[in-house]
Amino acid sequence: MNALTRLPVPVEGAPERRRRGARSGTFGVLDLGTTKTVCLIARIEGDGSPRVLGFGWQRGRGVKGGSIIDLEEAERAVRAAVGQAEEMADTKLSGLIVNLSCGQPESRLLHVQWPIGGRAVTDADLRAILTEGRRRGHEDGRETVHGAPVSFTVDATPGVEDPRGMICDTLGARVHLVDASQAALRNLGTCLAHGDLEVEELVSAPFAAGLATLVDDEKRIGATVIDMGGGTTSIAVFAEGQLIHTSQVPVGGWQVTNDLARVLSTPISHAERLKTLHGGALVSTDDEREMLPIPLVGEDEDHIARIPRAMIVNIIRPRLEETFEFVRDRLEQAGVAKEAGTRVVLTGGASQLIGARELAARVLDRQVRPGRPRSVRGLPETANGAPFAVAIGMLAWAAGEGRPIVDVAPGPERARGPIRRLIDWLVRS
C-alpha cells in the first residue's frame, strides 16, 4: 500500500534489487486530477528503480474535487495524456495504475484476532485475517480498494512485522482499510474503458505522495503527508513504517484561484496567474506599495485596475488557514495525532505558495518541511516537482515500494480483484 523510502539512487553495476510485487516489463501510471491529468510510461531497471520512457500532460478537464463530473471531458483528457506518453515511449498501453482520489475515500483501522491453535502461521492465515477485516469494514455502496495488516501480535508479543512461520495460539492484527464509493469507481472504470484501457491497480493519492517524498526515518517515527492538490487536500499518516490513516479535505488550489477571481472580479485565467506569480500567505513590508495590474471581467482590455500585493495575500491566507484547520480536525477525529508524531511533509502544487509551510506549522503546531519528490530517470526536470508527487509515488509503488505482505484481493481471487470485476461488469453492461 502505500514516505516511504525515496526512490533509490542508481548505482553503476549494482546488483538486481527487485522488491516484492515490482512490475516487470513496461507499465503506465495515471494521475487524474482536478487541474491536470498526467500519464507516465516506465519500466523497472535492474537496480530496482524506475525509468520513465514516456510522459503526457493535459490540463484537467471533467474532474472536480477528485471525482469525475463530466465523463466525456475527462475521457478526452485521459486519451490525450496517454496518447502523448505512448507516442514518446513508442508503446501501446492496455491498462494503467491510477490514483485514488474519487468516491470520498475513507480510512479505518480494525483489530482482528485469529485462532492458530499452536501451529505455524501460514499465508492462508494472513489472507483469512484480511478477509475478516474486509468483512467487518464492509459498507453497502462502497468498495475496499486498499487493505493490509499494519502490525501483528503473536500471542502476547506485539510489533511483529511478518509472523509467517511463527508458532502461536492466537494471531492478532491491526488491519488498515481504505474504501470508496462504488458509483465513483464505476465512473472511473467507464472513463478508461471508453479509451480501451483498464484500471489495473488503484493507489491512494496521499499514500503515493508519501512514497515519493518521505524518508525511512520519517515513516518509522511517524509523519503526516499533506498533498495539496488542485481540487482536494489529502492526508496520509505513517507510523512504524506503515500507512495507518488517510483522509481527504474538499479544498485545494482551485478554491484559492476562485477566491481571487471572485473577490477581485478578474478572469479565472488571470487569477491563476496572480496566484502563481504573486500569491502567498506572508505579508512583507513592501506589499502595500507593490501595485499589481488587474483586468476586470467584462471590461475592455485597456480598462485595468491596480491593487496592492497585500490584498492578494489577504485573500489567499484565510483559505490556506481554513485548509490546515480542516487537516488538524481530521487528524484529531481519527485519533492518530499521537502516532503521526510531530513531522509534517507538505507537497502538491498548492504547497508551493510562499508562506504555506510557515502557516501549516503554526496551525498544526508541528515541524513542517516541503516534500519534493526524488528525481526519476527519464522524467523531464519540469515534472520532478511537488505537483507531480502522486505520479512519481505511483512509479515507486510499481517498483514494489510499500507493498503489503498480503494483497487486498486474497487467494485465487487476486486476478479478479475489485477493479477487474468492476471492468467486467461494465463490459457486460
In tens, the pLDDT along 71-94 reads: 999 999 999 999 999 999 999 999
> Does pLDDT of 383 surpass 90?
no
| The pLDDT of residue 426 | 42
Residue type, 135: R
Domain 106-179 in CATH 3.40.640.10: no
Mean pLDDT of 210-226: 94
Residue type, 52: V
Beta strand segments in 194-232, E: 198-204, 223-228
Angle between helices 389-398 and 205-213 (to 10 degrees): 80
**In contact, 127 and 410? CB cutoff 8 Å:** yes
Distance between CA 199 and CA 334 in Å, rounded? Answer: 29
> Does pLDDT of 221 surpass 60?
yes
91-95, 279-283, 336-340, 392-396, range with the lowest pLDDT: 336-340
Mean pLDDT of 195-214: 93
| The pLDDT of residue 15 | 38
> Does pLDDT of 219 surpass 80?
yes
- Residues in CB range of 61: below 8 A, 6 or more apart: 37, 70, 73, 74, 76, 77
As a whole number, the mean pLDDT across the chain is 87
> Does pLDDT of 17 surpass 90?
no
**In contact, 408 and 417? CB cutoff 8 Å:** yes
60-64, 165-169, 408-412, 421-425, range with the lowest pLDDT: 408-412
| The pLDDT of residue 425 | 41
Mean pLDDT of 216-239: 93
| The pLDDT of residue 125 | 94
Q: How confident is the model at residue 289 (pLDDT cuts 50, 70, 90)?
A: confident
> Does pLDDT of 172 surpass 90?
yes
Cα–Cα distances in angstroms (integers) from residue 185 to residues 36, 189, 192, 279, 408, in the given order:
19, 6, 11, 35, 16
| The pLDDT of residue 8 | 41
Residue corresponding to grid cell 506599495: 289
| The pLDDT of residue 112 | 94
Q: What is the pTM of this model?
A: 0.87
**In contact, 38 and 388? CB cutoff 8 Å:** yes
> Does pLDDT of 66 surpass 90?
no
> Does pLDDT of 403 surpass 90?
no
Mean pLDDT of 108-125: 93
22-31, 273-282, 419-428, range with the lowest pLDDT: 419-428
What pLDDT, in 10s, does the model give residues 348-357?
A: 999 999 999 9
**H-helix or E-strand containing 423?**
helix 418-428
Distance between CA 356 and CA 279 in Å, rounded? Answer: 10
3-state secondary structure of 265: coil
| Percentage of residues in the chain having pLDDT higher than 90 | 64
Beta bridge mates, 2 = none
Mean pLDDT of 91-117: 92
